[in-house]
Amino acid sequence: LRRFEQPSSTKGKAKILKYGNQRHVIRRLFLEKIPLLVLSAGSCVITFVLQKRAIGAIAPLPFLWRVQNAFASYVIYVWKTLWPTRLAVFYPHPNNTLAIWEVILAIGFLLAITVAAIVFRSERPYVFTGWFWYLGMLVPVIGLVQAGEQGHADRYTYLPHIGLFLLAVWLAADVTAVRQSRSRFAVATAVVIIVALAWAAFIQTSYWRNSETLWTHALAVTSDNDFAHNNLGYLCVDRGELDKAISHFETALRIRSSRQDTHYDVGSAFVQMNLADALARKGQSDEAMLHYEEAIKLQPNYADAYYNRGNVLFAKGRIDEAIADWEKTLQIQPNDADAHTCLGNALLRQGSLKEAIAHYEKALALAPEDPHSRNNIAWVLATSSDASIRDGARAVKFAREAVELSNSEDPKFLRTLAAAYAESSRFSEAVLTAKRGVQTATAQGKSAFANVLERDIALYREHIPLRELSPIN
C-alpha cells in the first residue's frame, strides 16, 4: 500500500492511506498487487489441500450452522481483540445453539462498520483498508469450510489483526493530531494499554505451563468442552489416575451424547475408545468391551478400536476372537506393525509357529528399529518344540540385535539371548547371559522374573536348552 500525505493546514499532519484519483494511478496500484494476489490464491489452495484430512475426518456441519457461526466469529474476534480475556486453546462449536437475535446483532454490527468504511473511504481510507483486510483475511478460516470441531480459534486472527490495528493506529493518529494535549493523552493511554497487555500476556502464558493447566483453564472459560475433558482424561490415563480419567471421558460422552448429529460420530468413537482403554487398564474388562463395541458401532472402520479390543480379548483367553479383531485391524491398516506382532503372539499361542514367524517378520520389516519383533522371532527360533522351526544361529543373531537396540536394559531380551545360546549349544554363554538378566531384573524390582531366569540357569548348567511355546513378550 502506498502512502500519500493528506492535505491539511495543521503542521505535522499524520500521513494516511489514500487512493489515487486518477485512473492510471489506480491501474498501476492494482497491477503491482497482482503478484501478491497470485501468492494469496496459491496460499489458499495449499491451505485447503493440507486441511483436506481434517475436513474429511468429520461429517460436515449443516451449512446454516456454519454461516451463523461465521458471523458470530467475526464479532467475537473483534471483541477479543479489544478485550483479550477468557482465551482458550479450544472453543467448542455452538452448533445450533446460537439464538437468532445473536446472529442478527452480529450481522448488523458487521454491516454497520462495512457501510461506514465504504461511505468514509475518501475521508478515512484507513478504515476501509483495515476493515476489509480483517474481513478478507478471515474468509479461508472463518468456518464456512469446516476443518475440525472448533467454533473459532484465536490463532486464526494473527494476520487479520493487522487490519484492525492499522485501522486503530491511523484513527488514533488522526484524532490526536488536532491538539498537542490529545497527543500527550494518547501516549499515556498507549503506555497503560501496553503495560496491561503485557500483564495479561504473562497471565495467559502461565496457563500453557503444561497440558493439565492448559486444558483445565479451557474448562474454566468455556462450557460443554468435551474436547478438553477428553484430553484431560488422556493425561490422567498416562499418569495412572484411572478414576479421574474415566470421569473425564464419561463427562465428554455425556456432552457429545446431547448432540445427536452424525458429524460427531468420529469424535464420539474416539472418546468411547479412550474410556474403554481406561476401564481395561483398571481391570474392568467387561465394561471396556461395551465401550469398544460402541466405538466400532459409531465407526465400523476404526482400526485402533479393533486392535485394543483384541488386546482385551487376548488377556481374557478368547484367542480366536482376538485374532479376528487383529485381522480386521490389518484389513484396515495393513502396515500396522503392532497388530502383526499381536497376531503373531496369538498364533504362537495356538501352535501355528510358521504363521506366527511370518507376522513377526512383517512387523520387523515395518518397524526395523523395534527390538520386540527381533526378540519374538528369536524366541520362537530358540525355544520351539518343533525341531524344523528351531534355528540357533538365526536366533542368536536376532536376539543380539534386540539386546543391542534396548541397551541391554530389558531382562526379557537377555532371557531370549540366553535361550538362543543354549539352542546353539553355547551353554556357558547362556549361563552368563541369564545371570546378566537376573541382575537386571533384580535391579528393576522384577523378582518373579529373576526367579524364572534362575530356573533357566539350572537347565543350562545341565546342558538342557529351553523349550516353550508361549511368546516371551
Per-residue burial over 96-129, b if 16 or more Cβ lie within 10 Å, else e, is eebeeeebeebeeebeebeeebeeebeebbbbbb
3 state SS of 152: strand
Cell, residue 361: 517378520
Torsion angle of the four alpha carbons 316, 318, 319, 320, in this order, in degrees rounded to the nearest 10: -160
Q: CATH for 378-473?
A: 1.25.40
The pTM of the full predicted model, rounded to 2 decimals, is 0.75
Q: Are strands 3-4 and 91-92 parallel, antiparallel or unpaired?
A: unpaired
Question: How does pLDDT run across 385-409, given as a tens digit for each residue?
Answer: 888 999 999 999 999 999 999 998 8
Per-residue pLDDT of the chain (473 residues; tens, 9 = 90+): 333 333 443 443 334 344 445 566 677 877 888 888 888 788 777 766 666 555 444 556 888 999 999 999 999 999 999 999 999 999 999 988 899 999 999 999 999 999 999 999 999 999 999 999 999 999 988 988 877 789 999 999 999 999 999 999 998 888 887 666 677 788 888 899 999 999 999 999 999 999 999 999 999 999 999 999 999 999 999 999 999 999 999 999 998 877 655 455 667 888 999 999 999 999 999 999 999 999 999 899 999 999 999 999 999 999 999 999 999 999 999 999 999 999 999 998 898 889 999 999 999 999 999 999 999 999 999 999 888 999 999 999 999 999 999 998 899 999 999 999 999 999 999 999 999 999 999 999 999 999 999 999 999 999 999 987 554 44
Burial of 426 (0-12, 13-18, 19+ CB in 10 A): middle
3 state SS of 298: helix
Residue located via cell numbers 484430553? 231
Q: Are strands 91-92 and 150-152 parallel, antiparallel or unpaired?
A: antiparallel
Question: How does pLDDT run across 120-170, given as a tens digit for each residue?
Answer: 999 999 999 999 999 999 998 898 887 778 999 999 999 999 999 999 999
**Predicted local confidence at residue 28, as pLDDT:** 80
Separation of alpha carbons 231 and 236, rounded Å: 9
Closest Cα to residue 463, out of 427, 438, 420, 433? 427
**Predicted local confidence at residue 58, as pLDDT:** 52
| 17, containing H or E segment | strand 16-17
**Predicted local confidence at residue 452, as pLDDT:** 95
Contact 3, 17 (CB under 8 A): yes
Question: How does pLDDT run across 330-347, given as a tens digit for each residue?
Answer: 999 999 999 999 999 999
Q: For the chain, give every residue range classified as CATH 1.25.40.
A: 378-473
Residue located via cell numbers 540357533? 392
**Predicted local confidence at residue 233, as pLDDT:** 94
Which amino acid makes up residue 154?
Answer: D
**Predicted local confidence at residue 183, as pLDDT:** 75
Closest Cα to residue 114, out of 138, 83, 135? 135
Cell, residue 88: 482458550
Sign of CA dihedral 40, 42, 48, 51: negative
SS (H, E, C) 346-377: HHHHCCCHHHHHHHHHHHHHHCCCCHHHHHHH
Separation of alpha carbons 411 and 158, rounded Å: 52
